[in-house]
Amino acid sequence: MRISIVAVGRLRAGPEKTLLDDYLIRFDRTGRGLGLGPARVIEVEDKKNAGMGAEAGLLRKALPKGAVICTLDERGRMMSSPDFAQKLGNWRDAGRQDLALIIGGADGIDPTLRAAADFSISFGSMVWPHMLVRVMLAEQLYRAATILSGGPYHRV
Answer yes or no: is 156 within a domain. Answer: no
CATH number of the domain that residue 131 is part of: 3.40.1280.10
Instruction: Chunk the chain into consecutive blocks of 10 residues (it has 156) and report each block's average pLDDT, rounded to whole numbers.
Output: 97 95 98 97 90 94 97 95 97 98 93 97 90 96 97 75
The pLDDT score that the predictor gives to residue 127 is 85
Measured in whole angstroms, the distance separating CA 37 from the mean position of its chain's CA atoms is 12
pLDDT at residue number 103 = 96
Q: How far apart are CA 10 and CA 130, in angstroms?
A: 10
CA separation for the pair 138, 140 (Å, rounded): 5
Please tell me the total count of domains within the chain: 1
At residue 156, the pLDDT reads 61
Q: What pLDDT, on the 0 to 100 scale, is given for residue 57? A: 96
Q: Which domain holds residue 63?
A: 2-149
What is the pLDDT at residue 106? Answer: 86
